[in-house]
Amino acid sequence: MVQFPNWKLVKNEKSSLVEFDLDLECSSVSLSLRLLMRLDTISGDAHFYLRDFFSNTKHFDISCFMNSIIQCLSNIRCLLEYIIKEDYLSDINTTLSTMKGELIKAFGNLLRDLWRDGATGPVNTGPFKAQIQRFAPVFTGYAQHDAQEFLRKLLEGLHEDVNRVTQRPKPNIQEIEQDLDDREKAIEAWKRYLRYDDSKIVDMFVGQLKSCLQCSVCGHKSNTFDPFWDLSLPIPSKSIGQVRLSNCLDLFTKEEVLDGDEKPKCSKCNERRKMTKSFYIQKFPKVLRFSPHERWRGKLGYIVDFPLDNLDLSNYAACTTISTRYRLISVVNHSGTSLSGHYTAYCKHPYLNTWHEYNDSRVSSTRQNRICSAEAYVPLL
Ligand SMILES: [Zn+2]
């Protein structure tokens, strides 16, 4: 359940963004995952498959956690187009990939079935289920699972299947030169990441984080750049019941003092020193996913204030010249207990910008005020 008090509907936009939010609430735990899409990253020229498949009833012989995630991914436009246009076929990795392309092919067939013009009747999820279970046997059977874990695993599998790295690269043990400027260091670190993991899935979902350490004795600064698939956000400890997403982000990027056992080694003093550490977002991914910090697992739900429409993250950017605005595309709801709970999803149609509710085999239109009026609990994925 989600509450988004800052929601405004933008009418004339060309749906040039996709975002995605998952909120999972259990009786004792609350989870939420947010995937958002950058405003400027999708071209507005694709108009195929606008059919109103929502009027059809689609039968899923599939667990609700899987269904909710598939529906969310299916409404992320850049991913949908990559799959439906079959661009992925020429990217299939048949050497290093565990599944040799079988997972993404099965996912592609499933998405094509979902979006097929004029299709009615059940969608056969069997082949996809068979492949995801081969890739991740933990999802075998009908037991309930954490939707976030499923999403993570599915993205990993899809990425492997289309990883452009087809031969295991030689490890590069040389450290990045310290006399490069930050921009050059960031580019070099990103290049090194791409030597191992380089795919359309990475292009869409992976960002880069800058972490800055400063020595309290000599003042020496050292910056490192690491890829991230999601941002794990803490919840301010003083918040009761309600928290703004921006407060979680403020806390995430707030300067932290590393002292005592945590003291890192200063490369200039050549000794372990008390240091300050802070994070910035160096590279914003097209689709941004927030996940709650591990240590908040088990906390009771918080309502997260979150602007659906225009979330500006420029305050957290390492450089100010890049686009940092995001918007929501879907919400996964989880009700009941963690073992017997039920997942549903609200997703925004990638072309029509209308909201729909996915509840097992039922797909129905939903009004945005329904999404706005519900409660958003904070993250724990
Ligand atoms: Zn020092």
pLDDT at 380 over 70: no
Query: Is the pLDDT reported for residue 278 higher than 50?
Result: yes
pTM for the whole thing?
0.79
Report the CATH number of the 20-203+284-373 domain. Answer: 3.90.70.10
pLDDT digits (tens, 9 = 90+) for 29-41: 233 344 455 544 3
How far, in Å, from the CA of 264 to the mean position of ligand 1?
A: 10
**What is the mean predicted confidence (pLDDT) over 338-345?**
71
Q: Does residue 1 carry a pLDDT above 80?
A: no
Average confidence score pLDDT of the chain: 76
Q: Do residues 363 and 10 make contact, with C-beta atoms less than 8 angstroms apart?
A: no
Q: Each residue of 117-142: pLDDT tens digit?
A: 666 666 788 899 999 999 999 998 77
Ligand 1 centre from 258 Cα, in Å? Answer: 13
Q: Is 313 exposed, middle or buried (0-12, 13-18, 19+ CB in 10 A)?
A: buried
Q: Is-catalytic flag, 342?
A: yes
Beta strands 362-366 and 355-359, pairing class: antiparallel
DSSP 8-state assignment for residue 304: E
pLDDT tens readout for residues 279-292: 999 998 888 877 65
Tokens, residue 9: 């509907």
User: What is the 276 CA–ligand 1 centroid distance (Å)?
Assistant: 11
- Cα dist from 47 to 72, 77, 214, 330, whole Å: 19, 11, 50, 21
The one catalytic residue among 212, 220, 342, 372: 342
Instruction: Kindly give the distance from the C-alpha atom of residue 223 to the centroid of ligand 1, in angstroms, as a whole number.
Output: 14
3-state SS class at 223:
strand
Higher-confidence residue of 354 and 104: namely 104
| Higher pLDDT pick, 68 / 240 | 68
What separation in Å is there between the alpha carbon of 180 and the centre of ligand 1? 19
Which residue is catalytic, options 26, 64, 72, 78? 64
* pLDDT band with cut points at 50, 70 and 90 for residue 92: very high
Report CA(76)–ligand 1 centroid distance (Å).
Answer: 46
More confident residue, 80 or 341: 80
DSSP string, 332-380: EEEES-TTT-EEEEEEE-TTT--EEEEETTEEEEE-HHHHHHS-PBPP-
